[in-house]
Amino acid sequence: MSKGVEGQNVEEFLRNYENEMPTRYSYKDIKKMTNNFREKLGQGGFGTVYKGKLIDGRLIAVKVLAEPKGSGEEFINEVATIGRIHHINVVRLLGFCADGWKKALIYDFMPNGSLERFIFFDKPRSHCLHWETLYKVALGTSRGLEYLHRGCETRILHLDIKPHNILLDEDFCPKISDFGLAKLYSNKQSVISLTGARGTIGYMAPEVYSRSFGVVSHKSDVYSFGMLLLEMVGGRKNFDQQANSSEVYFPDWVYSRLECGGDLEVGDIKGEEKEMAKRMMVVGLWCIQINPTDRPSITKVVEMLDGNSQTLVLPPKPSFSSPKKRSSLESDSGHTEMSIL
């Protein structure tokens, strides 16, 4: 699609929602805010992020989008979703730029960056964050997701929950970010229509890339959140070919340990911290059930993490023993009635 057509689509959207949009800036303003793009914070498939400052002195993060390859959907998604919502656990969009094909998005600056820099290390299951902080990040992220699924006038399916997209402010309060793949749906919709797979391999729910596993819904975000939880506890990617053969697929290893009551090997932790780790693992395993109907809603996840459920039961073993075996499903779907907490 040409830049002209893409620009027309974006301008039409902005005209339709003009009264609901955050502040619009010119590209000249963007260059001034970022001191001519002096300090780069990061780069991804959709664009490059720079550090900047508003006139009032507030620090900001400015995402300058790459040249469009379609209808401007990524830009429209961001502005249409977080441009009109406010929640403590969702990143705030302060403004945007749409000068022809030059587009940028302006957010609050998150001094601690993304969650992934605090949980992935060369030595698995080593953490630089206290367990209480990790737990608060998990709970805050689940509350942000609950707001997107149930608290907005128009519901939002994120479709790309992963450590890189969870930003942390100065107090390590988590903020869900990057809504470029998000899908809006009404309160009456329980099934979401997608034209193709969206998300990141390793976090993407099975039904997102193959409808034979079920329909795409809010439970697809729950799956991604479950994978996130397990990685937070493990301090490693869920699939690691460099690990010992029994630990290549971390969810498998976690389940086996919980099932036999073995040591979780998550560092020198005892008492309350150990209970936090176990709770996060069990909730994570519930979230990654192969059948979407077997996964809890995000509201139930919040309750489980918040401790409202005094006893958590170990779920059925996730059907995928590893990403390599996603072409076949196990037939056993019975629950293992085992009290873990």
Q: How confident is the model at residue 122 (pLDDT cuts 50, 70, 90)?
A: low
Binding residue positions for ATP: 63
Task: Identify whether 178 is a catalytic site residue.
Answer: no
- Parallel, antiparallel, or unpaired: how do β-strands 23-25 and 93-99 relate? parallel
Pair (98, 127) in one structural domain: no
Give the active site residue among 29, 99, 122, 160. Answer: 160
**Residue 332 parent element (H or E):** none
pTM for the complete prediction?
0.84
Indicate which CATH number applies to the domain containing 221: 1.10.510.10
Round to whole Å and give the CA distance between 60 and 44.
Answer: 18
Mean pLDDT confidence for 103-110: 94
Cβ atoms of residues 236 and 228 within 8 Å: no
Could you tell me where the beta strands, DSSP code E, fall in 147-255?
A: 155-157, 166-168, 174-176, 183-185
The answer to whether residue 92 sits within a structural domain is yes
Q: How confident is the model at residue 6 (pLDDT cuts 50, 70, 90)?
A: very low
pLDDT at 18 over 70: no
The answer to whether residue 332 sits within a structural domain is no
Binding residue positions: 63
Indicate which CATH number applies to the domain containing 61: 3.30.200.20
Of the candidates 2, 288, 73, 161, which has an alpha carbon nearest to the alpha carbon of residue 280? 288
pLDDT at 147 over 80: yes
Pair (98, 247) in one structural domain: no
Kindly report, residue by residue over 27-52, the tens digit of the pLDDT: 999 999 999 999 999 887 678 999 99
| 71: its two tokens | 């209808």
- Parallel, antiparallel, or unpaired: how do β-strands 23-25 and 102-108 relate? unpaired
Cβ atoms of residues 165 and 135 within 8 Å: no
The predicted structure's pLDDT at residue 142: 98
- What is the Cα Rg of the chain in Å? 21
| 190: its two tokens | 């329980």
Round to whole Å and give the CA distance between 270 and 284.
Answer: 20
Round to whole Å and give the CA distance between 83 and 235.
Answer: 33
Pair (158, 301) in one structural domain: yes
Mean pLDDT confidence for 191-196: 66
Q: Which of 61, 77, 108 is the last residue of a domain?
A: 108
Pair (120, 230) in one structural domain: yes
Of the segments 50-59, 93-102, 152-161, 311-320, which one has the largest average pLDDT value? Answer: 50-59
Total domains, the chain: 2
The answer to whether residue 28 sits within a structural domain is yes
Spell out a b/e string for 231-244, using b for 16 or more CB atoms within 10 Å of the CB, else e. bbbbbbbbbeeeee
Cβ atoms of residues 101 and 7 within 8 Å: yes
Domain residues for the domain of 151 are 116-325
Of the candidates 157, 306, 307, 305, which has an alpha carbon nearest to the alpha carbon of residue 226? 305
Q: Which of 69, 88, 108 is the last residue of a domain?
A: 108
Round to whole Å and give the CA distance between 341 and 335.
Answer: 16
Residue type, 20: E
Of the candidates 151, 115, 90, which has an alpha carbon nearest to the alpha carbon of residue 233? 115
Round to whole Å and give the CA distance between 289 and 176.
Answer: 23
Round to whole Å and give the CA distance between 133 and 135.
Answer: 5
Q: Phi first, then psi: give them for residue 189, nearest 5 degrees.
A: -85, 130
Cβ atoms of residues 42 and 126 within 8 Å: no
